[in-house]
C-alpha cells in the first residue's frame, strides 16, 4: 500500500509546485487583484477545481506563494547562526534568484494590501529576527540604538527597494557598464556595512 501511495504523493507535489509557480508568475506580473484562480489553473494546465482542492482560495494561494519563495531565501543561509552572514546570503540570493518574489511583495505593498490580508509565514524574515534577538540578548541594551528587528526590517526594505528600482537607478547613477552580479555584490557590501555597524555581533 505504501508503495502505491508514493507515486500519487509525488504527482500531487509536482502538480502543486506547478500551480504555485504559475501563480507566482501571474501575481508578480499582474498583481493580486488582477489574477483569478481560473487564470492560475489555465497557466498551470489543470482544472479550476483542482487548484481549489489542492491550494484553497486565492488568498491561500497567495500566502503559499510568498511562504514558499521566502523559505527558499531563508534556506540560502541554512546552518548560519551569524546575523551578518545570514543577511548577506539572503540578500544576494533574493536579488540573483528570487526577484519575482521581491517584486510580488513590493506590488502587494504598493497596491495597499494590508499585511493582515497576506499574513502568513515569512520564514526568511522570521529567521533573521530570531538570530538578531538571540544575539542582542548577549549584549547590554543601548537606548540610543534602534532594536535589531528594526535594523533587519530596514535592510529588508533596502533589498526590496533595489529590486523595485534597479533599472531606474542604474540609469540615474550611470551604472549601466556594470553587470548584475557586480551590482549585487556591491549591494551586499552596503548590507554588510550597515549590519556590522548597527547589529550585535555573534558571540565567539
The reply to whether 34 and 114 lie within a common domain is no
Q: Is residue 75 part of a domain?
A: yes
| Cell numbers found for residue 119 | 499574513
Give residue 183's pLDDT band: very low, low, confident or very high (50, 70, 90): very high
The reply to whether 76 and 165 lie within a common domain is yes
The reply to whether 101 and 6 lie within a common domain is no
Q: Is residue 61 part of a domain?
A: no
The reply to whether 161 and 188 lie within a common domain is yes
Residue 8 confidence (pLDDT) above 80: no
Percent of the chain's residues with pLDDT above 90:
46
Tell me: the pLDDT tens digits for 18-35?
999 999 889 888 888 889
Write down the pLDDT at residue 30.
86
The reply to whether 129 and 192 lie within a common domain is yes
Write down the pLDDT at residue 119.
62
Domain CATH for 42 = 1.10.10.60
Mean pLDDT of the chain: 85
Q: Is residue 63 part of a domain?
A: no
Domain count, the chain: 2
Q: Is residue 83 part of a domain?
A: yes
Q: Is residue 64 part of a domain?
A: no
The reply to whether 37 and 98 lie within a common domain is no
The string of DSSP letters for 115-144 reads HHHH-S--HHHHHHHHHHHHHHTTS---TT
The reply to whether 44 and 95 lie within a common domain is no
Q: What is the average pLDDT across 119-143?
A: 73
Write down the pLDDT at residue 151.
87
Residue-range definition of the domain harbouring residue 89: 69-204
The reply to whether 23 and 123 lie within a common domain is no
Q: Is residue 16 part of a domain?
A: yes
Of residues 145 and 164, more confidence is placed in 164
Write down the pLDDT at residue 204.
45
Tell me: the pLDDT tens digits for 75-120?
999 988 888 899 999 999 999 998 888 888 888 888 777 776 666 6
Q: Is residue 191 part of a domain?
A: yes
Q: What is the average pLDDT across 148-164?
A: 90
d(CA 101, CA 54): 21
CA distances for 29 relative to 65, 105, 193, angstroms: 14, 12, 33
Is residue 55 within a helix (H) or strand (E), and if so which, with residue range? Answer: helix 48-55
The reply to whether 105 and 151 lie within a common domain is yes
Question: What is this structure's pTM?
Answer: 0.78
Q: Is residue 62 part of a domain?
A: no
Amino acid at each position: 500500500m505504501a508503495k502505491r501511495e508514493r507515486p500519487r504523493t509525488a504527482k500531487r507535489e509536482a502538480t502543486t509546485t506547478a500551480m504555485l509557480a504559475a501563480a507566482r508568475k501571474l501575481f508578480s506580473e499582474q498583481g493580486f487583484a488582477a489574477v483569478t484562480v481560473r487564470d492560475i489553473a489555465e497557466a498551470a494546465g489543470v482544472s479550476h477545481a483542482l487548484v481549489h482542492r489542492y491550494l484553497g482560495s486565492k488568498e491561500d494561494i497567495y500566502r503559499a506563494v510568498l511562504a514558499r519563495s521566502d523559505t527558499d531565501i531563508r534556506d540560502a543561509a541554512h546552518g548560519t547562526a551569524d546575523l551578518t552572514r545570514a543577511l548577506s546570503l539572503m540578500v544576494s540570493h533574493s536579488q540573483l534568484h528570487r526577484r519575482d518574489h521581491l517584486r510580488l511583495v513590493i506590488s502587494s505593498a504598493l497596491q495597499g494590501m494590508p499585511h493582515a490580508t497576506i499574513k502568513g509565514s515569512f520564514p526568511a524574515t522570521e529567521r533573521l529576527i530570531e538570530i538578531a534577538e538571540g544575539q542582542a540578548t548577549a549584549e547590554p541594551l543601548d537606548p540610543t540604538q534602534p532594536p535589531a528587528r528594526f535594523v533587519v526590517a530596514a535592510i529588508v526594505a533596502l533589498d526590496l527597494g533595489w529590486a523595485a528600482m534597479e533599472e531606474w537607478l542604474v540609469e540615474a547613477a550611470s551604472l549601466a557598464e556594470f553587470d548584475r552580479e557586480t551590482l549585487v555584490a556591491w549591494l551586499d557590501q552596503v548590507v554588510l556595512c550597515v549590519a556590522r555597524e548597527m547589529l550585535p555581533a555573534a558571540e565567539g
